[in-house]
Structures are given as structure tokens and as C-alpha cells.
A and B are shown apart, each in its own frame.
Chain A
Amino acid sequence: MAQLTLEKVRKAYGDAVVIPEIDLDIRSGEFVCLVGPSGSGKSTLLRMIAGLEGITRGTVRVDGEDMTDVDPSDRDMGMVFQSYALYPHMTVRDNMSFALRMRKEDPKLIEERVAEAVEMLDLKGLEDRKPAALSGGQRQRVAMGRCIVRKPKLFLFDEPLSNLDAKLRTATRHQIRHLHDRLGATSIFVTHDQVEAMTMADRIALLNFGEIMQIGTPQELYLQPQNRFTAGFLGSPEMNFFEGTVSVGEGGFVLNGTASLFLPASAGRLAALREVVGTGRKVEIGVRPEHFDLAAEAGADTMSLPVAGLEWLGHEAFVFGHVDGREIGVRVATDASGASDLPKPGSPVQLRVVEDSWHMFDATSGDNLVVKSGA
């Protein structure tokens, strides 16, 4: 249990700035995911917290104590690596107890802690095996066990699930989150997989080019993205974007641009955005696939989408098509009867945007004008 603070932390390799400046506060007991595309600096940030990577400027504090220049072994953190990095010449037991043995802890205590971790991680019977004789999932659990036995202040995870197959990944996701809660730990989890972040995190910090684009709960990031990057990064299939200028219409806004689109809005949102829109500035409208309704017939408030492809996933289906050269994805509900009532590829469907569920981003700054105006 510990609280971590990053103050104006910067990382540069010579002239190449990886992280310009980051402030981050992680509360005790929190599970925070650092997410971002590759090259966003999320792993570097984690390694700076761990002490594996030097810090160009700024301060790392754990429970208020300055850790910036402290050696990794004295930071009281445990890290799970992407390749697990187990000691190949040691048995599972020796791998787990290594740090404690190096600290000359009481052998009885070591044995207790290891037994506890083995129990918790379901590794019973494997204590005397070497890592080579373990499956990927087992290795991953041993790597976690190596951290757990030390009862560290902070758990650091560097994409620990990316080497597992999809099914195991889902199960391990739950297991890690469960362990975190059970231990009352503070965890930082780096991943490029938004699903991992959404399902595990108390808060997500979304990084791009070494800057935090948004930090908040998964719900905040998904429902109220502060900028176009966040909106586009989270969600699968991706949010649909339409560029253009917006004018006020009857019961909503009208987008005039690559595609004409009617955006139904409540009175509150109409009022809040009216001024923004009036200036005629270029915007991008974002609509998630699930925020389209299928209309029975074409009207003034609908957009026609020629169906090019269909993905049926059982509990839902996605329809894909192109409007003005841009791919649009739309989620449609499925029912028990199967695929019979779904749109057919080749024929158009009529789409209507759900009221107030769209976003408007400034075309240059990328700010979400809806969130900014408080609508």
C-alpha cells in the first residue's frame, strides 16, 4: 500500500524527448493502467518509476519520500516483465524466494511467504520445477509470485499478458485484478490493449507522445473523452468521425461536410453548443458504432450507408460501409432468431444518430467541445 507521485517528470535521450513533462498521482490501493499506442512512452514511464531508467528531470515520490535516485532494489517495488524474466537456473521456489534470501530474511518467514504465494497463485506441485518446464501461464504466475512474496509497496506490470493466448489472457486479467484487491496493493499496469485497461483499471492514464491525453475512470474516458485522440483510441470498432462545419437545425445540429449528418440534441446541449457552432469553425463529429439507430426509411435526419460488410458476433453485429471514402461501422442488435433480419451486404441502410450521444471535436486542437462546454 503506497501512494505514488510523479512531479514534472521528464525523459530525454539527448535531443530526443520521450516524455516532455508528466505529473501523475496514484492513490494508495489504486489500480492504474498506463495505455497508449507503441512509442507513447508508457513503458519508459513505468521503467522510470521502477528505477530501471534514469530521470532527466523531476521527482518520483513514494509515500512522500523522494525515490528519484534510489536504486531499484531499495525502492520496495515488484515488477512483472513482459517475458517474465524468470531465473532459468532456479526452481519456482528459488525464483520466488530469491529477493528475500538476498535480504537474509528468516528462512521460516521465507518459507511461509512462498507457501502463501504458491497457494494464492495455484502453483502447488510445481515448486521444484524450473521455468523451462512450465507453461506460459504458469511462468506468468511465478513472475507475479516473485513480487508477491516481497509484499512491495508498488506492483509494476509491463505488458505481462501479451505473451498469453486470448483465452488465458482473459482469465489472467481477472486473476490479477482479484489479487490486487485481495492484497490491497497499489498497482501500475502498462498495456497497449484497451480491453485490458478498461476491464482492470480503477483509473486509466492514456498516453500519446509522452503526454497524458486523459486520466480518469474507464467510464469517464469512454463516455466523456476530452479529446479526439482519447475518443479514437478507446472503443472497438473505433468511433466514427465526420469532418465539416455545423449549423443549427430543428431539434439538433446539421453537419455540412464530407457527409451530411443530422445530430439530434436536447435543449440543454443545443444551448451550450450554439455559440461554439455559430462561429463556423471546423469540427469533427464523433459517433460510436452503438450510437446509431437503424431507421425504417430515409428522411431528413437519416444518412444512407451502403452495406459493404457484416460481422456477426452473436450478441451483437457490426455493419460496415463507406461514406465519402471513410469507413463507417455501426452496431446493430441481434435477436435470438439469428442473422435473418440483419442488413444485407449490397443494400443500403438508413442511419439516425442517437440524441446527445455524439461528440464534437475542434478540428485543430482536437478538444471535445461537448465536454468542454459542460453539455
Chain B
Amino acid sequence: MATNSTRRRNALWRIGSLLPASLLLVALSIYPVFNLVGLSLSDVEWIDGRAHSEFIGFANFDQLFRHETVYWAGVRNTIIFAICAVTAQMIFGFSMALAARRASGVTRAVLTAVFLLPIVMPPIVIGAMWRLLLGRDFGAVNTLLGYVGIGPIDFLGNPDIALASVILVDIWHWTPFVFLLMLTGLESLDQEVFEAAKFDVRSPWQELRYVTIPLMVPTILITLGLRLVLSFKVFDEVYLLTGGGPGTSTEVINFSIYRTFFAQDRLGVGSAMSLLTLVAVAVLIVVVNLWIRKRRSKSQEATS
């Protein structure tokens, strides 16, 4: 009898403790997605300050796939952006973590602080700072290049290099994040293994290739996945540096959505874009997750 009432109390407790989080999830995540699906299938017009929506089936998607060339330029740019920026961030972040690990005492503290500086800056400051640095006529970078007889280069105004400039700023901004995760990963490894390796390897390169990197694979994969997903959400840097221009050279997905939805008031098409992006990112997350899990279970075979 007592077990019965205890069980009921446990069940109540379980439901009660899950309720707030569930409500939040429904209100903030699940409802908006359904709302988005609804919007993407409707034509929304503002009449007398009120929204009138009319179900139009897949017309928005038809429009999106056939006519929204700017969005597709954004997709292309976003993919280039993600691959280039994340690759560079991984390489730089890992190298910096290796360097910081070797350093000791004050050197290390200073090194870590300097490396972490970009990540503590608000995006608005980063945008303003890099716009000033990369400006065509008064930018510090062009002034310096002028001393050695190069330039001026219009980093943000030249369609051929604007995307590269944005990627550069993103690398600068997010490398510390990779650095931090990598450093933590390196330090959680069994240091005695590295001492043992000192007897076995003939060069630092061999140590990196055969010991450090294999042991770091789990950390590398998680960081890579995280950065990849996050880089698909890039917005602030583009908004502050180039506004998507010149032309569509730095257009990214999120910028298209922002413009379509808020500036052009085309809620239906904007929602369709959002939904498509959401699904793409969700698929990416699932794929990355599965991949990491597979690798992890493989390495767990090895370590547990």
C-alpha cells in the first residue's frame, strides 16, 4: 500500500519537475516551428494594420526555388564561408592550443589571454573595428600596405575579395573558441602517455601525427561539428561589415531571410527560406551527431 502511494508521489514529482521545461520547449521551440510551417504555406498581407493570411499551398516554395536567385547565392556563399572559415579555425585553434600547452607560467597566462581576446568582444565592436581596419581609403591595413607599395585594396567593396575578407574576420573571431576547446581537450589527456611517447618518437611531427591527433579525435570532431553548425548561422559579421554586398558577393542565407522577411515584408517567402534552412541545419546536426557518435563508440571500444 505504501509503495503505491510512494509510486504516485514519485510520478507526480516526475511530471511536476518536467513540466516547466516542457512548457518552455513547447512555447519557444515547437510552437514557432509549426507557426513557421503555417506561414510558409500562406500569403500574408497587411490590411488596416492587421495580418490577413491566405493558404496558398506550395506557391512560396515554388517562388523560392525558381526565382529567388539572391537566396541561392547566399546558400552558395554560406557553404563556402562555412568550409573555409571552419577549416582555418580548426587548424589555427589546434596549433595555438599546442603552443599554449608547451608554454608555462606567465608566458602561458599571457598567451591564453591574448588568444582569447576576440571571443570576449561584442560582435558590434568587432564589426566596427574591422570596418575601420579594412576600409579602402582610411583603413589601417591599407595604410600599412601603402608603406610597402601595395594597394589600396578595397577589402569590403571589391566583389572578388569581399567574401574572403568576411571569412578572415570570422576566422579571427572564432579561432579562440576552437583554441579553448582544444586546449581543454589536450589537458585532459593522460600526460604520462606523452612522456612515454618521448621515448618512442623521433620527431615532434611523429608525436603529433601518431599520438596527439589520434588521441584528440573526439575533441576535434565535437568542435568541428559545433563550429560547422554555428557558422551556418552567421549574420552579425556580414550585417556589420558588408550588408551582403557588393551585389550578392557576401550574401549569406540568414541575411536573405532577414531582408525578405523584415525589409521586404514578404513573410511567406521569408518563412519558406527559414524553414528550408532550418531543415538543412537540422539534417546537418543529425548527420554530424551520428558521425561523432559512431567515432566515439569506436574509440570507446578502445578506451573503456
Residues of A with C-beta under 8 A to B215? 87-89
1/0 per residue, CB under 8 A from A, across B192-208: the answer is 11011111111000100
Closest to B193 in A: A85
Closest to B194 in A: A85
* A81 interface contact, C-beta 8 A: yes
Interchain CB contact under 8 A, B195 and A85: yes
Residues of B with C-beta under 8 A to A72? 198-199
1/0 per residue, CB under 8 A from B, across A56-91: the answer is 000000000000000111000111011101111100
Residues of B with C-beta under 8 A to A83? 190, 192
Closest approach, in angstroms, between the C-beta of A188 and any C-beta of chain B?
Answer: 14
Residues of A with C-beta under 8 A to B201? 73, 99, 102
* A130 interface contact, C-beta 8 A: yes
Interchain CB contact under 8 A, B196 and A79: yes
Question: Please, how many angstroms separate the alpha-carbon atoms of A82 and B196 in the complex?
Answer: 11
Interface residues of A in 76-124 (CB under 8 A from B): 77-79, 81-83, 85-89, 98-99, 102-103
Interchain CB contact under 8 A, B302 and A89: yes
Interchain CB contact under 8 A, A102 and B206: yes
Question: Please, how many angstroms separate the alpha-carbon atoms of A85 and B200 in the complex?
Answer: 12
Question: Please, how many angstroms separate the alpha-carbon atoms of A73 and B210 in the complex?
Answer: 15
Tell me whether A73 and B193 are in contact in the complex, defined as CB-CB below 8 angstroms, given that A87-B211, A89-B299 are known contacts.
Answer: no
Interface residues of B in 190-238 (CB under 8 A from A): 190, 192-193, 195-202, 206, 210-211, 214-215, 217
Interchain CB contact under 8 A, A132 and B301: yes
Query: Contact partner of B200 among A50, A88, A89, A102, CB < 8 A?
Result: A102
* A52 interface contact, C-beta 8 A: yes
Residues of A with C-beta under 8 A to B303? 88-89, 130, 132
Interchain CB contact under 8 A, B192 and A81: yes
Question: Please, how many angstroms separate the alpha-carbon atoms of A87 and B211 in the complex?
Answer: 7
* B35 interface contact, C-beta 8 A: no
Question: Please, how many angstroms separate the alpha-carbon atoms of A330 and B301 in the complex?
Answer: 53
Closest approach, in angstroms, between the C-beta of A159 and any C-beta of chain B?
Answer: 12
Total chain A interface residues with beta-carbon distance under 8 A: 26
Interchain CB contact under 8 A, A78 and B199: yes
Interchain CB contact under 8 A, B195 and A73: no
* B4 interface contact, C-beta 8 A: no
1/0 per residue, CB under 8 A from A, across B268-304: the answer is 0000000000000000000000000000000101111
Closest to B304 in A: A132
Residues of A with C-beta under 8 A to B210? 98, 102
Interchain CB contact under 8 A, B199 and A81: no
Query: Contact partner of B302 among A73, A82, A132, A146, CB < 8 A?
Result: A132
Query: Contact partner of A88 among B195, B198, B202, B302, CB < 8 A?
Result: B302
Interchain CB contact under 8 A, A85 and B301: no
Question: Please, how many angstroms separate the alpha-carbon atoms of A131 and B196 in the complex?
Answer: 15
Residues of B with C-beta under 8 A to A146? 196, 200
> Which of A51, A81, A87, A103 is packed against the most chain B CB atoms within 10 Å?
A87
Question: Please, how many angstroms separate the alpha-carbon atoms of A98 and B210 in the complex?
Answer: 9
Tell me whether A52 and B195 are in contact in the complex, defined as CB-CB below 8 angstroms, given that A88-B302, A130-B301, A132-B302 are known contacts.
Answer: yes
Closest to A147 in B: B199
1/0 per residue, CB under 8 A from A, across B162-202: the answer is 00000000000000000000000000001011011111111
Residues of A with C-beta under 8 A to B206? 102
Closest approach, in angstroms, between the C-beta of A340 and any C-beta of chain B?
Answer: 52
Residues of A with C-beta under 8 A to B214? 87, 89
Interchain CB contact under 8 A, A77 and B301: no
Interchain CB contact under 8 A, B199 and A88: no
Question: Please, how many angstroms separate the alpha-carbon atoms of A83 and B193 in the complex?
Answer: 9
Question: Please, how many angstroms separate the alpha-carbon atoms of A81 and B302 in the complex?
Answer: 20
Tell me whether A52 and B202 are in contact in the complex, defined as CB-CB below 8 angstroms, given that A89-B214, A98-B210 are known contacts.
Answer: no
Closest approach, in angstroms, between the C-beta of B19 and any C-beta of chain A?
Answer: 41
Closest to B300 in A: A132
Question: Please, how many angstroms separate the alpha-carbon atoms of A51 and B199 in the complex?
Answer: 9
Closest to B200 in A: A99
Closest to B298 in A: A89
Closest approach, in angstroms, between the C-beta of A270 and any C-beta of chain B?
Answer: 55
Closest approach, in angstroms, between the C-beta of A114 and any C-beta of chain B?
Answer: 14
> Which of B200, B201, B206, B303 is packed against the most chain A CB atoms within 10 Å?
B200
Closest to B201 in A: A102
Closest approach, in angstroms, between the C-beta of B229 and any C-beta of chain A?
Answer: 26
Interchain CB contact under 8 A, A73 and B200: yes
Interchain CB contact under 8 A, A86 and B202: no
Query: Contact partner of A98 among B192, B200, B217, B302, CB < 8 A?
Result: B200
Interchain CB contact under 8 A, B200 and A81: no
Closest approach, in angstroms, between the C-beta of B255 and any C-beta of chain A?
Answer: 42
Closest approach, in angstroms, between the C-beta of A88 and any C-beta of chain B?
Answer: 5
Closest to A51 in B: B198
Query: Contact partner of A99 among B193, B199, B299, B302, CB < 8 A?
Result: B199
Interchain CB contact under 8 A, B198 and A85: no
Question: Please, how many angstroms separate the alpha-carbon atoms of A89 and B190 in the complex?
Answer: 12
Residues of B with C-beta under 8 A to A73? 198-202
Residues of B with C-beta under 8 A to A99? 199-201
Residues of A with C-beta under 8 A to B199? 50, 72-73, 77-79, 99
Closest approach, in angstroms, between the C-beta of A70 and any C-beta of chain B?
Answer: 12
> Which of A79, A89, A132 is packed against the most chain B CB atoms within 10 Å?
A89
**Partner-B contacts on A (CB < 8 A):** 50-52, 71-73, 77-79, 81-83, 85-89, 98-99, 102-103, 130-133, 146
**Partner-A contacts on B (CB < 8 A):** 190, 192-193, 195-202, 206, 210-211, 214-215, 217, 299, 301-304
Given contacts A78-B199, A87-B215, A132-B302, list 10 more A-B pairs with CB under 8 A: A51-B198, A52-B195, A79-B195, A83-B190, A86-B193, A89-B215, A89-B302, A102-B210, A132-B301, A133-B301
A-B pairs with the 9 shortest C-beta distances?
A: A85-B196, A99-B200, A85-B192, A130-B302, A89-B214, A72-B198, A132-B303, A88-B303, A85-B193
CB<8 Å pairs between A and B, sample of 14: A50-B199, A52-B195, A72-B199, A73-B199, A77-B199, A81-B192, A85-B190, A85-B192, A85-B196, A87-B215, A99-B200, A102-B201, A130-B301, A146-B200
